[in-house]
Amino acid sequence: MLSNLPTAFRPACGAQILREKEIKILAAEIDGLKNFGCLEVSPSLEGLRDENAKLKYRLNVLQKSLQEERNNRVQEIFRDAIKAQPKFGDYQCNSAMSITKMLPKTNEQKVSPREIADNISRNIPENEYIEKVEIAGPGFINVHLRKDFVSKQLSSLLVNGVQPPAIENRKKVVVDFSSPNIAKEMHVGHLRSTIIGDSMCRLFEFVGYDVLRLNHLGDWGTQFGMLIAHLQDKFPDFLTVSPPIGDLQAFYKESKRRFDTEEEFKKRAYQCVVLLQSKNPDFIKAWKLICDVSRKEFQKIYDCLDIKLIERGESYYQDKMTDIVQEFEERGFVQMDDGRKIVFVPGCSVPLTIMKSDGGFTYDTSDLAALKQRLFEEKADIIVYVVDSGQSVHLQTVFAAGQMIGWYDPAVTRVVHAAFGVVLGEDKKKFKTRSGDTVRLIELLEEGLKRSMDKLKDKERDKVLTEEELKAAQTSVAFGCIKYADLSHNRMNDYIFSFDKMLDDRGNTAAYLLYAFTRIRSIARLANIDEEMLQKAARETKILLDHEKEWKLGKCILRFPEILQKILDDLLLHTLCDYLYELATTFTEFYDNCYCVEKDRQTGELKVNMWRMLLCEATAAVMAKGFDILGIKPVQKM
């Protein structure tokens, strides 16, 4: 677009001007060489032809380089400049102001943003997207879309399905999330990492990335010494008879109490750690038994929330840690501190301890080993750590160490900490039970199921739904509301956990959206229009957008890929929740003002406005995909 502007308006830098001059000089030289074509055969003709070919090659390279530089500059200017602004047009472009600031200062009269906006507007080529552009204020360009274009896009969505935003190439993504500790129950603190991480994975998968969902379990360390020692005492025949550990949390607490109060037990626990780390078969078996008990409990929660994960705990990286320490030593990054081996990372206040004074490894070593494995073995383009904000300093130091040693370039590989705040109770303090204990996640989910059933019965849904439909609605509402309550808040902030608020079917809640979705799906069903009829209409019926509410809904539906692109950039999923709520309320405005089915006043016959049925279907299709990304399962009847 900017290539058609007068030179004074181009965001050209000194390097570009020099290149343009060199191109002119080379072009003149080539023209001069061409004149030799009319001469008699000359001894130097072949040499001149060679020189001509070389000059042409240099000219092409320079022109290509200059064009790439201009394109990059234009992309930089316009990347964040064009945004949806319904008050001022369908979209608004504010890049004229940015261009003004980048123009070289001269003694000539300063060019105003409005003049630049006018030049941009006049040089927009004919296209099928834009109806008109208007310049407002100091230089804002208001863009109005063509209704035919929006109508065709909606038809395409119905025929081809909801499509993700276009991506340049398929990337390998590793997402580290959930990550509970073996022998400890999952609590409400694990809820956010599990829900946010799963939703990010679903988004990455939808756009076509190759996603590795990793559960970085805390399955190694000194705590296993006391657990194994306690196992030996309580179930001495554990090697031949599987120990009936019913409550692993209680088992852990008993072993911890003994570790803190019994000196002899404490010594034996340390010996068990040494034997475990030396891979003694009996102690490896004891370790696996304890891990298996925890896995079964974790899986109950993952099944409830429909979470898919690949387990790769701290134990996976144990054999890689010696090499990590050696690599940092060989590069001269290691310092000794009271027997510890530490690494200072530029710009980071706290050093990493990669080996303790007793020769043991630390979480720092484990996380460095995990980072390197994901970069070099998994060949990840993007690595996301969905971990609470309290780990920010630690993770930023680990990332910085990876850059310092040359494992990755942040300009090429994206390694990011997707931090999140804590879950608060309604008293705005850390969410606890009345006795002050951490809330067990399984109990929270069970309470959600109970409350959602109570809500459905209050609405007398048990009288109109079959037992199977009621059960499906209960599960959908319970787990959908818990997930949505988390995802609808900016993950960086703390949020207050309240069943009453999340189960309210008014406002921006899953209960409201799930009800809205079932209502939209029921419109075609009640009009006796099946899926086959809708598909036929999508191919043959033009979607009219004459009514202002039809037009508003159509444009809102098509913004879905833009929303997903924004989330891919900043990993803030509440933007999707806000969009789905906006879409649902926009649909309600449409449905209240535009009849999908009308009764003829004279004949009494029902008339179906099929293009409006298609708008209903397009809305439902986008909402369904949005729910899928959020990990929420809607139902057809509620």
Mean pLDDT (whole number) for 508-528:
94
Residue 465 zone, left/alpha/beta (φ > 0; ψ -120 to 50; rest): beta
> How far does the chain reach from its first CA to its final CA, in angstroms?
51
pLDDT digits (tens, 9 = 90+) for 202-258: 999 999 999 999 999 999 988 999 999 999 999 999 888 888 887 888 899 999 999
What is the average pLDDT across 60-74? 57
Query: 412: Cβ–Cβ under 8 A, 6 or more apart, which residues?
Result: none
Distance CA 339, CA 359 (A): 9
Mean residue pLDDT across the chain: 88
Cα separations in angstroms, 202 against 137, 416, 624? 42, 17, 13
* Rounded CA separation 30/36 (Å): 10
Q: What is the pLDDT of residue 27?
A: 66
> Which secondary-structure segment (H or E) carries 143?
strand 140-145
With 80 as the cut, is the pLDDT of residue 524 above it? yes
Q: With a cut of 90, say whether residue 96 has pLDDT above it.
A: no
Cα dist. 625→140, 555, 564, 576 in Å? 34, 17, 11, 11
* Two structure tokens written together for 619: 């809305």
Please state the pTM of the whole predicted model: 0.83
Phi-psi region of 221 (alpha: psi -120 to 50; beta: other; left: phi over 0): left
How far apart are alpha carbons 515 and 519 in whole angstroms? 6
Strands 210-215 and 172-176, how do they pair?
parallel
Q: What secondary structure letter does DSSP report for 420?
A: B
pLDDT of 119 > 70? The answer is: yes
More confident call, 228 vs 432: 228
Residue 284 predicted with pLDDT over 80: yes
Provide mean pLDDT across the span 7-15: 41
Contacts of 326 (CB under 8 A, 6+ apart): none
**Residue 87 pLDDT > 50:** yes
Model pLDDT, residue 53: 67
pLDDT of residue 11: 39
Structural contact between residues 142 and 151, judged by C-beta atoms closer than 8 angstroms: no
For the cut 50, the answer to whether the pLDDT of residue 149 exceeds it is yes
Q: Which residue has the tokens 């303790």?
A: 356
SS (H, E, C) 231-293: HHHHCCCCCCCCCCCCCHHHHHHHHHHHHHHCHHHHHHHHHHHHHHHCCCHHHHHHHHHHHHH
Average pLDDT of the segment spanning 597-607: 80
Listed range (55-69, 75-89, 120-134, 417-431) with the worst mean pLDDT:
75-89
Percentage with pLDDT > 90 across the chain: 65
Place of tokens 């009288």: 463
Q: pLDDT-derived band of residue 148, with 50, 70 and 90 as boundaries?
A: very high
Q: Is the pLDDT of residue 77 over 50?
A: no
Residue 212 gets the label, from left (phi > 0), alpha (psi -120 to 50) or beta, of beta
Q: Per-residue pLDDT averaged across 407-426, rounded?
A: 95
Instruction: Inform me whether the pLDDT recorded for 607 exceeds 90.
Output: no
Question: What are 420's strand-pairing partners?
Answer: 388
Tokens of 374: 């994901």
pLDDT score, position 35 = 53
Question: Residue 196's beta-bridge partner residues?
Answer: none
- Cβ atoms of 344 and 351 within 8 Å: the answer is yes
Least Cα distance to 638 among 476, 458, 448, 447 occurs for 476
pLDDT of 107: 56
The DSSP symbol for 602 reads T
Reduced to 3 states, what is the DSSP secondary structure of residue 43? coil
Nearest residue to 115 (alpha-carbon basis) of 129, 128, 103 = 103
Quickly state the pLDDT bin for 9 (edges 50, 70, 90): very low
Placement of tokens 């439909």 in the chain: 469
Q: What is the pLDDT of residue 90?
A: 87
- Taking only Cα atoms into account, the Rg of the chain, rounded to an integer number of angstroms, comes to 32
Q: What is the pLDDT of residues 296-342, one digit of tens each?
A: 999 999 999 999 999 999 999 999 999 999 999 999 999 999 999 99
Residue indicated by tokens 């209502």: 519
pLDDT of residue 25 exceeding 90, the answer is no
Kindly give the residue spans of alpha helices, DSSP state H, lying in 103-243. Answer: 113-122, 147-160, 188-206, 223-234
> SS3 for 374?
helix
CB 174 within 8 A of CB 408: no
The residue ranges of DSSP E strands in 294-413, in sequence order, are: 310-311, 334-337, 340-343, 352-355, 382-385
Asked if 631 and 202 count as a contact pair (C-beta separation under 8 A), the reply is yes
Instruction: Give 268's contacts (C-beta < 8 A, 6+ positions apart).
Output: 229
- Whether the predicted pLDDT of 409 surpasses 50: yes
Top-confidence residue, 14 or 374? 374
Asked whether the predicted pLDDT for residue 451 surpasses 80, the reply is: yes
CA 114 to chain centre: 37
Give strand pairing partners of 92.
83, 142
Q: Residue 88: what pLDDT?
A: 76
Q: Where are the alpha helices (DSSP H) in 79-146?
A: 95-102, 113-122
How confident is the model at residue 19, as a pLDDT?
Answer: 60
Asked if the model's pLDDT at residue 604 lies above 50, the reply is yes
SS3 content of the chain, % helix, strand, coil (to 5): 55, 10, 30
pLDDT band at 64 (very low <50, low <70, confident <90, very high): low
Give the bridge partners for 136, in sequence order.
140
Strands 495-496 and 130-136: unpaired
> Kindly report the CA angle at 274 between 269 and 275, in degrees rounded to 5?
95
**Average pLDDT estimate for 527-547:** 94
CA angle 282, 370, 345 (to 5 degrees): 125
Mean pLDDT of 542-549: 96
Q: Tell me, what's the pLDDT at 247?
A: 81
